[in-house]
Amino acid sequence: LADREISEYMRSEWLQRLPPDDLDFLIRVSGLGWLSGSLIDFALERNDSGAMLARLASSPLVIVPLDRRGSSYRLHYLMAEVLDAEFERVDREARRSVAIRASDWFERTGDIDRAVAHASRADAPERMVRLIATHGPAMQTVGRHHSVDRWLAMLPRDIVLSNGALCLLSASTSVAKGEGEEALIWLKFADQAVAEPTDTEPVRLEMKALRSMLVTSDID
């Protein structure tokens, strides 16, 4: 009840006072979290987002600057929640499109964590699979196993089980957590998921190497 009352208050006392163009802008960026002019220009296909952010930041209850240079911002948390719910209600497809483009922008700029998060927000499992399978091994190489584990947990389990590369990543994260038997189980799932040898040979080789490292005299 309290959350609903706060939402209604924000709608009546703040959102209705905003010019329509400002309100539309804020609704469309509400789910992006971290904000910058270049991100929003790409996600919303416009070219004035930096100026919009700077102007709207003059009202701290709407946009909050995150640095002194005015290069990054965020919405007030409650405002973002209310606006994103409104975006979902009035134009679900546009909300999804913005999230997909944000995911693309973050991948291009090397922020794979946010790229995966926005793909999840867009309910785009195929994109999530590609991002995780492509960038997960490099993340594990630098010790970010927890990030990869979190990404995998964001996908439906049946999708993970049907993809050999994702099963291999799951096995590797299990190894990093000291769960050798769990890793072997994931390798068995990977065996079942891998289909065409010509398409999955690198995955097969990595599976073989990981299995040879794990298998001991008393583990079949």
User: Global pTM?
Assistant: 0.84
**Are the beta carbons of 110 and 104 closer than 8 angstroms?**
no
**Are the beta carbons of 219 and 187 closer than 8 angstroms?**
no
**Are the beta carbons of 95 and 87 closer than 8 angstroms?**
yes
Read off the amino acid at residue 104. D
**Over the stretch 181-209, which tens digit does the pLDDT of each residue have?**
888 889 888 888 875 554 566 666 666 66
**Over the stretch 94-127, which tens digit does the pLDDT of each residue have?**
999 999 999 999 999 999 999 999 999 999 999 9
